Chains A and B, each alone.
Chain A
Amino acid sequence: MDDQAGDRPFLQFRNVKKTYDHKTLVVKDFNLDVAKGEFITLLGPSGSGKTTCLMMLAGFEDVTSGEILIDGRQVTSIAPYRRNIGMVFQQYALFPHMTIRENLGYPLKIRKQSREQIDQQVEQYLALIELQHFGGRYPAQLSGGQRQRVALARALIFNPDIVLMDEPLGALDKKLREQMQFEIKRLHDQLGFTVIYVTHDQTEALTMSDRIAVFDQGVVQQCAPPHVLYERPANLFVADFIGESNKLRGAIEAVEADSVRVRLEDGGLVSALKANCCDLGQPTTVSIRPEKLTFTERLGDAGNRVRARFVTSHYVGEYIRYHFETANGSELVVKNMNDSSAPPLAPGDEIALAWLPQDSQALDGQEAPKPV
């Protein structure tokens, strides 16, 4: 135990590893520091180990090696029912034989609070989730969104150190999901609890989190605030998994302070920000977001250019997706705002696509692993 409680991260995963069969590691060396009150999302494809990390923190899975510390205190040897961690389950897990009021009061009853205290807290939380008139009902009599709110309140009512959410909105339809995202954020801002949130839905992760840890193959690929993750992906997996990316392959021709010049395979020379590349002569992939690429004149002469042939376009509404192909067969997607000044294109037309160097990243390697 160190004395500087103020500087110590509230929750720490240190070199956490997990294997079920003593052969393959589901979680390989997981490290994460979480500050008190932070909203952290573990994002990744299914089977990437994110839920396992949550289960280890909740105490439903053993840690194979490494340690998990809450406020400097080792939790791996504490029984799940003594950890004081709230959890919202994917299928709500409300007790069907108890009313909403009894469900909410259950953790308080376990903690041997007095009847008056319990009643008062339950009413307060019912008001918080705006279900004052539903306290006497059974979970089966509520809609999916209402049950989700009860599950959330039940995970918060006993004032846990940390609240875990395992794909809590997975069973809701799109509209309800957006409402609930807002609801969770509102409660988080209001009550200031620490959240570890697991999802495979990147929009959910981007809109709600303070920081996102992107998981793949049991390893955190990048842990950063949403805008950093999107604008400055650390590697090809992240660039591919978060949002959409155009990828141009080439080799490093010159290295500067924080940017590189890349000779593309079709011969063009472009500059890009330095990510996790870069040695002279090494192969690299330049990644550009579709909305940063343009074929209009809005960038003028500034920036990189590459020639491509127009293939087809899809009308989406607020924007139009244009598909292009470079001379050596790389596919490029351009998202252009629905803008009447855009030049008309016919299939086969050759045109220059432009982007700003600071909107592109030179990433290591050339084969992006396909997101599952």
Chain B
Amino acid sequence: MKTPSYYGFWHHLGNRLLKLFSWLVLLFLILPILVIVPLSFNAEPFFSFTEGMLRLQPDAWSLRWYEQVFSDPRWLLAIKNSFIIGFFATLLATVLGTCAAVGLARAEMPLRRFITALLLSPMIVPLIITAAGMFFFYSSLNLAGSHLGVIIAHAALGTPFVIITVTATLTGFDYSLARAALNLGASPLRVFLDVILPLIRPGVISGALFAFITSFDEVVVVLFMAGPQQRTIPRQMFSGLREQINPSILAVATLLILLSIVLLLTLELLRRRAERMRGIEIPQ
């Protein structure tokens, strides 16, 4: 960045310090995550860099922890569970959240603010309270310790994200398009499927991604609700930290970081697409 010509010595000094401080904050945020990646390729069962690794000796690095993850039935079950629960929780949250957002966007909907606040409450209420409440409630329904229970619980946590993203795409939605479709003979259901849904799709998909991530790295509710058969990846990492102290956790963590990066890139692509779509919606 070019500094203005009226800058004096103290201005320049302050400017440099501000830049330095900004970089330090960035490192503070990202370093704990980045340090995991090289450690996961450790050839020794340690959570620290060995001398060989620092000297970049090839035999000090290995993929053994990745191998171990993919050959350990507990990890494999956890990965399978995470994806099954994540998928169905996302599906449920997306359908419910989209319907809620479309309904709440209508001007004639009574008690809009109140209902919105209610629906978003799982985001605000401390997770441990939600989890404890769910545990007692779902236990009485015999849902605790089942896949279905965890799926429903995660769907409840993911729905607010879908509501928020879909509501965002619905603001500024041109409802004369819906009227036009009705006028052309489309029933309200077809209006939704043919006109509204395609136009809010970016919001629906990014809401779904958020819902998936929410389910995928959720551990508190799983601790309460899941039995040994419903252990997810975070839950397995949690017990792994205590029981099997070896870097296979780090290998899983690296894989999760990779997945997060892929999801974030998807979101970014969606955002760009949404911007192009908005360009289409504005006349002239």
Interface, chain A (partner B; CB < 8 A): 58-60, 80-82, 84-87, 89-97, 106-107, 110-111, 138-140, 144, 147, 154-155, 158, 171
Task: Report yes or no: B277 in contact with A96, Cβ–Cβ below 8 A.
Answer: yes
CB distance from B200 to the nearest CB of A (A): 11
Partner of A93, one of B174, B190, B277: B174
Partner of B280, one of A81, A92, A138: A138
Task: Report yes or no: B283 in contact with A106, Cβ–Cβ below 8 A.
Answer: no
User: Quick one: given A91-B176, A93-B174, A93-B176, are A158 and B185 in contact (CB under 8 Å)?
Assistant: yes
User: Quick one: given A89-B176, A97-B199, A110-B190, are A81 and B283 in contact (CB under 8 Å)?
Assistant: no
Residues of B within 8 A of A58 (CB): 179, 183
Residues of B within 8 A of A95 (CB): 177, 180-181, 194-195
Chain B's closest residue to A111 (CB) is B185
Chain A's closest residue to B279 (CB) is A140
B57: Cβ under 8 A from any A Cβ: no
A–B complex contacts, Cβ < 8 Å, 26 sampled: A58-B179, A59-B182, A80-B179, A81-B184, A81-B185, A85-B183, A86-B183, A87-B183, A89-B180, A91-B176, A91-B283, A93-B180, A96-B199, A96-B280, A96-B281, A97-B198, A97-B277, A97-B280, A106-B181, A106-B184, A106-B194, A110-B184, A110-B185, A138-B280, A140-B280, A171-B283
Chain A's closest residue to B188 (CB) is A81
Which of the four size classes fits the interface of chain B? 20 to 34
Most chain B CB atoms below 10 A, which of A58, A86, A87, A139: A87
Residues of A within 8 A of B179 (CB): 58, 60, 80, 87, 89, 93
CB distance from A98 to the nearest CB of B (A): 8
Cα-based distance from A86 to B277 in the complex (angstroms): 26
CB distance from B15 to the nearest CB of A (A): 43
Residues of A within 8 A of B199 (CB): 96-97
Cα-based distance from A84 to B185 in the complex (angstroms): 7
Task: Report yes or no: A154 in contact with B176, Cβ–Cβ below 8 A.
Answer: no
Residues 115 to 168 of chain B near chain A (Cβ within 8 Å): none
User: Quick one: given A87-B180, A97-B199, A106-B181, are A81 and B284 in contact (CB under 8 Å)?
Assistant: no
Question: Given known contacts A80-B182, A96-B280, A140-B280, what 8 new A-B pairs fall within 8 Å (CB)?
Answer: A87-B183, A95-B180, A95-B194, A97-B280, A110-B185, A155-B183, A171-B283, A171-B284
Chain B 193-212, CB within 8 Å of chain A: the 1/0 string?
Answer: 01100110000000000000
Residues of B within 8 A of A89 (CB): 176, 179-180
Interface, chain B (partner A; CB < 8 A): 174, 176-177, 179-188, 190, 194-195, 198-199, 277, 279-281, 283-284
Chain A's closest residue to B186 (CB) is A110
Residues of A within 8 A of B280 (CB): 96-97, 138-140
Residues of B within 8 A of A139 (CB): 280
User: Quick one: given A93-B174, A97-B199, A110-B186, are A147 and B283 in contact (CB under 8 Å)?
Assistant: yes
CB distance from B129 to the nearest CB of A (A): 42
Task: Report yes or no: B185 in contact with A93, Cβ–Cβ below 8 A.
Answer: no
Partner of A144, one of B174, B184, B281, B284: B284
Cα-based distance from A110 to B191 in the complex (angstroms): 10
Chain A's closest residue to B284 (CB) is A144
Task: Report yes or no: B283 in contact with A107, Cβ–Cβ below 8 A.
Answer: no
Most chain B CB atoms below 10 A, which of A92, A106, A138, A155: A106
Residues of A within 8 A of B186 (CB): 81, 106, 110
Would you list the 4 A-B pairs with minimal beta carbon distance, nearest first?
Answer: A93-B180, A96-B280, A107-B184, A140-B280
Most chain B CB atoms below 10 A, which of A93, A94, A106: A93
Cα-based distance from A136 to B89 in the complex (angstroms): 39
Chain A's closest residue to B283 (CB) is A91
Cα-based distance from A58 to B183 in the complex (angstroms): 7
Residues of A within 8 A of B198 (CB): 97
